[in-house]
Amino acid sequence: MEDHELDRDAQTGMPPEPRTDDDPFAVPRASETVLAALAAGLREGTVSTASPRYFGHFTTAPSEIALRASAIATEANPQLATRSHAQFAVDVEDLTVRALASRFGYAPATADGTFTSGGAEANAMALALALARAFPEIAQRGLRALAGDPVLYVSNEGHATAARAARLAGLGSDGVRIVPVDRKLRMKPGALGEAIARDRARGAIPFLVVATAGATSAGTIDPIPEIAAIAERAGLWLHLDAAWGGLAAFVPELASVLEGSARADSITFDPHKTLAVPLGAGMLLTRHPRALASAFHEQAGYMPRDASRDPYARSTMWSRRFIGAPTYAVLASLGWSGVAEMLARQVALGDRLRRALGERGWSVVNDTPLPVVCFVDATHEDGARPDRLAAIAREVDARGAGWITLVRFSSGTRVLRACVTSPNTREQDIDALVDSLDSSRKAVFSRSAAP
């Protein structure tokens, strides 16, 4: 999980304009004034995810075509709750879902899925699919009718949305088994197997394993084939949280790192992290064509003639915007080859960053082929101190060379982290970051050495 301690104050927040707490809407204001204030506020009071020097969270810079597609969709304002009401938009989303699913190895004929507001919703939906499959009776009778406690498994580097989803689904944190990771921060399959056995022995009911591809902190990828084998043997739903790491599915050189993804029963993938589209565009994919309808179809109300394909009956949302438009437009204009090229460039920049950091005496402490690099300073005895690292990040930001974060691994270790997540990042941005890290380090340590 990401550590947000770098609450740097470079961001100014509210500009002069609407800072009236009493009644900001008492007096109408000219549209141009309002829009100018909005634009200025966003410029000044936001960490710019559009910058090629944004190395922060996994948020991409929207491409021109994505912004234009988004504007077209927003202006048309189709209401995607039902298929018949917005046939074109629903068709486009279906087609995009199936095409993306096939990149993860799902068979197009049975692949299914839906766009979501982001990875959190997709992960929560996966939990609902797994519960509905394992315990069909809870749709009517609820969790309290079960003979034992449902339990899911996720590594301690997995995203906290799995735990939150479990809590909101009524399982409580007691229903979440945190599986330890190895030295490379990957879930230990042996520990997973043991945890399942232990839970069964005490009468609990394992039902879901969440594997992570591209953990938020270190970008590590759980050993999918081994985990899939365990889940299959135990008859558990396997969910792959590939919200960011799913990018590997588009880069031929990296395809092997997602080996086994097609064995997952469902997959989270976030176009807004990797496909140059604006927030929020997440996805849930599944290889079980009727799973969505059986988990989300509301049985209490009146049904359309065949609601099993209506978006409202296959999602947690009801009224729905055309989330998939920019993702479709990016894929259609780039084609798979263009997507591969865009992402391969980011992967190469990640490698360049790793190499350059090593050459300058930083110690890279994570192990992933994905473009996220975690590191501490190896040139100084205090080079791994969190306060020093945070000061370095602030200094790099102040010098305009990039926005990076301080994260904490589940072990408690804190490290600096830089990811390449913008299609606009170039070699000179990486080089500027490394140069600035170097000089920022010197500045911080000379300050701290001063009497």
Cα separation, 306 vs 57, whole angstroms = 41
Q: Which of 172, 225, 252, 361 binds its own copies (CB under 8 A)?
A: 172
Cβ nearer to its own copies, comparing 103 with 354: 103
Alpha carbon separation from 288 to 106, 130, 226, 296, 439 (Å, rounded): 10, 11, 21, 14, 53
Closest to its own copies by CB, 41 or 180: 41
Q: Does 203 bind its own copies (CB under 8 A)?
A: no
CB of 125 to its own copies, least distance (A): 9
Among residues 201, 203, 302, 451, the one that binds its own copies under rule CB under 8 A: 302
- CB-count burial class (<10 Å; 0-12, 13-18, 19+) for 433: buried
Q: Is 74 in the site for its own copies (CB under 8 A)?
A: yes
Decide: is 197 part of the binding site for its own copies (CB under 8 A): no
Q: Which of 16, 21, 359, 428 binds its own copies (CB under 8 A)?
A: 21
Taking the CB of residue 312, how many other CB atoms lie within 10 A of it? 22
Give the residue, chosen from 138, 191, 255, 364, that forms a contact with its own copies under the rule CB under 8 A: 138
DSSP secondary structure, 343-383, as one string: HHHHHHHHHHHHHHHHHTTEEE----SSSEEEEEESSSTTT
The Cα–Cα gap between 313 and 110 comes to: 18
Please report whether residue 335 would count as binding its own copies according to CB under 8 A: yes
Q: Which of 229, 234, 293, 332 contacts its own copies by CB under 8 A?
A: 332
CB closer to its own copies, 282 vs 371 = 282
Per CB under 8 A, contacts with its own copies among 383-412 are 408
Part in contact with its own copies (CB under 8 A); list of ranges 143-151, 256-264, 345-353, 443-451:
143-151
114 SS3 class: strand
95 contacts its own copies (rule: CB under 8 A): yes
* Cβ proximity of 116 and 122 under 8 Å: yes
Please pick, from the candidates 187, 208, 238, 307, the single residue that binds its own copies as defined by CB under 8 A.
307
User: Which residues 41-60 are close enough to bind its own copies by CB under 8 A?
Assistant: 41-50, 56-57, 59
Options 182, 200, 255, 280; binder of its own copies; rule CB under 8 A = 280
Q: Which helix (H) or strand (E) holds 209?
A: strand 205-212
Instruction: For residue 290, state whether it binds its own copies (rule: CB under 8 A).
Output: no
Closest CA to 126 of 110, 112, 138, 144: 112
**Total residue count of the chain as it appears in this document:** 451
State which of positions 253-272 bind its own copies (CB under 8 A): 270, 272
d(CA 358, CA 381): 17
Q: Which segment (251-259, 302-310, 388-396, 429-437) binds its own copies by CB under 8 A? A: 302-310
Q: Do the Cβ atoms of 312 and 82 come closer than 8 Å? A: yes
Residues in the interface with its own copies (CB under 8 A) total 149
Q: Which is nearer to its own copies, 30 or 450 (CB)?
A: 30
